[in-house]
A and B are shown apart, each in its own frame.
Chain A
Amino acid sequence: MPVISSRYLIRRLGYSGVSFLVCVTLTFFLLHLMPGDYITNYLLWLANKVPKEAVDQFYQQFGLNLPLTDQYILYIVNILHGQWGYSYAYGLPVFSMIVEKLCWSLVLLLPSTVFGILVGTAIGAWSGWRSGSRRDLAVFNIMIVFRAIPEFWWAIMAVMVFSFYLRWFPLGGYSSISILSAGLSIPDVLYHAILPILLMTFFIATGNYYVMRSSMIEVIGEDYITTARAKGLDEQSVLWRHALKNALLPMVTLTTFQCAAIIMGNVFIETVFSWPGIGYMTTEALRLRDLPLLEGIFLLDSLLTIGAMLLADILVTVIDPRIRMGTDE
């Protein structure tokens, strides 16, 4: 088992920390440069009926009367404690709003990510292994066409064809009218989730397909595949014992990324389907110019992306025996 040099690990963590700090600093300055502060923006809708205790609480929480540098430190501390401010539009704490919507997004994301990665990788491996054959070319060209069509258009077309014309699926939302009388019903929600999940799976799969196929094609051209064949291995064994493990290496990085990127909710699909997840909330917040909420979404996304890059680096070291972090630096 290769040893990860602790020095390298600390360096990578350092970089990740700096990246996050940059994001936090940016959000701080934007928040601060916005005309008005929390009081005027947040409590605007309360008109002037703001009790003094609330105002004091705000001042204390966000240090609104402190000098800039102190506010900055306080801001960072708040962020690390999960106090990400309050939404201008909804008046609720940003962090809890994001967490709530995240759960909804995950209903769509978890199955689609898992299936998308599996399906995409499998088809990509098969396609790459048989690259140049008619079937591979057919699939490859189809995938290029599919990928060229934008996500939101796929979503709109899917809703039009399957929900509107064929009436197989509901037109959007997460529940039907029955929620008013019978409350939230799990099967109902799942029924509403099927089409968006299918679309997301599909889109993730096309991305994976392309990378896996290229990776497999590279691997096939390598000398050790000829060596394996010269030993008398049949094609299946060459594929499974030699080609696949090498071809999957680049996929580790990609997959980690995808998981992080997609966690942020898919803005387009959720908007088209009116699915109450983070993506949908992003569109709404954009419409309402709700800066703290959008910043919160940005921070969460940064956290996840930075974390994913770090994780990908570590995973690659663990899996690929050629890479020894720290020894060649």
Chain B
Amino acid sequence: MNRRVVLWISIAVLCIYIGIALAAPLIAPSGPTAITGKPLEPPGAGHLFGTNDVGQDIFAQLVFGARITLLFGFFSASLSVLISTSVGIAIGYYGGIVDEVVSRAIDVFMPIPVFPLLIVLTTFFSPGIIQISILMGVLGSIHGIRIIRSQVLSVAQTYFVEGARAIGASDVHIMSRHILPNVMPLVMAKFVSSSQHLLVMGVGLSFIGIWDTTTVDWGTMIQNAYSSGGMALGLWWWILPPGIAVVGISLALAMIGYSFEEQFNPRVGVNRL
């Protein structure tokens, strides 16, 4: 299996997912919550994946749920990467007291486990999906700051930064024009792996009921099917589609992320000679 082929397939899969999510109202005009058929109908005419226990079309739920799941994953990943990159570049570049203080703060905050903290905070706030994804983004960025920072340190100490300063370039200019491009591969790799990680975690969190369980996303779909005994009754079409959908995008993102990492650290991958 050629690596290149796998990469392109993964990117195609990703685009298909995003396309479906965007085009949801066109593909399934009735919406996710409309009752369009008899309960627990197997896949057939009019219902591509059948219906659930109240007669809602599973396919419609799947495409509309994609929006929420994908939004959560990519939004929190973007936020996480944005924060860790800007903070990492800033403290790596400026160094000194700023670096000391922030690094010590990270030393203090890093051991704090994110998952139970998230659960505690959501119990307290009862927030919506956007707020939870903001929380995930912020909490998840802490670990990344360290990684970006060490990369920045190795770049900032090279001579071309000295040279740029010598011609009078401003700090912001140096950071954005010189340091950022050098850190970009790492940032991209982080973004992809964070997306995968956070997207899957989002489905998992929704599975255990962290936000309003009446929202339709892949996690709640799986939860509904599972807890209502969908498996015990052999109603495979109820539980399989959302799960396979998650697996699909997780695999695609993992493959893309892995290709990035291979570029970065060629020894991790294959000795192709």
Question: A234 to nearest B CB, angstroms?
Answer: 21
Closest to B126 in A: A289
- Pair A131/B271 contact, Cβ less than 8 Å: yes
Secondary structure type dominating chain A contacts? helix
Residue B234 at the chain A interface, CB threshold 8 Å: yes
List residues of chain B with CB under 8 Å of any chain A CB: 1, 104, 107-113, 115-117, 119-124, 126, 196, 200, 203-204, 207-210, 222, 226, 231-232, 234, 236, 239, 243, 246-247, 250-251, 253-255, 258, 267-268, 270-272
Residue A204 at the chain B interface, CB threshold 8 Å: no
- Pair B116/A282 contact, Cβ less than 8 Å: yes
Contact partner of B254 (CB less than 8 A), chosen from A148, A214, A298, is A148
Known: A287-B209, A291-B124. Is A149-B111 also a contact (CB below 8 A)? no
A150 to B254, CA, bound (A): 12
Residue A194 at the chain B interface, CB threshold 8 Å: no
Residue A189 at the chain B interface, CB threshold 8 Å: no
Closest to B270 in A: A132
Known A15-B107, A156-B231; 13 more pairs at CB < 8 Å: A18-B108, A19-B109, A33-B124, A132-B272, A147-B254, A152-B207, A160-B236, A268-B207, A286-B122, A289-B126, A290-B123, A302-B113, A305-B112
- CB 8 Å contact bits of A137-156 with B (1 = contact, 0 = none): 10001001101111111001
| Residues on the B chain within 8 Å of A153, using CB | 222, 243, 246-247
A297 to B115, CA, bound (A): 11
Residue A321 at the chain B interface, CB threshold 8 Å: no
- Pair B204/A152 contact, Cβ less than 8 Å: yes
Closest to B265 in A: A214
Please provide the chain A residues from 123 to 171 with a CB less than 8 Å away from any CB of chain B in the complex: 131-132, 137, 141, 144-145, 147-153, 156-157, 159-160, 164, 171
B104, B109, B116, B203: residue with the most chain A Cβ atoms closer than 10 Å: B116
Known: A19-B108, A268-B204, A283-B208. Is A301-B116 also a contact (CB below 8 A)? yes
| Residues on the B chain within 8 Å of A271, using CB | 207-208
A148, A272, A287: residue with the most chain B Cβ atoms closer than 10 Å: A148
**What are 26 A-to-B residue pairs whose CB atoms are below 8 Å?**
A15-B104, A18-B108, A19-B111, A131-B271, A149-B250, A149-B251, A152-B203, A152-B204, A159-B231, A160-B231, A164-B231, A164-B232, A217-B267, A217-B268, A261-B113, A264-B113, A267-B208, A268-B204, A282-B208, A286-B122, A286-B208, A290-B123, A291-B124, A301-B113, A301-B116, A302-B113
| Residues on the A chain within 8 Å of B113, using CB | 261, 264, 298, 301-302, 305
A290 to B124, CA, bound (A): 10
| Residues on the A chain within 8 Å of B124, using CB | 30, 33-34, 291
| Residues on the A chain within 8 Å of B123, using CB | 286, 289-291, 294
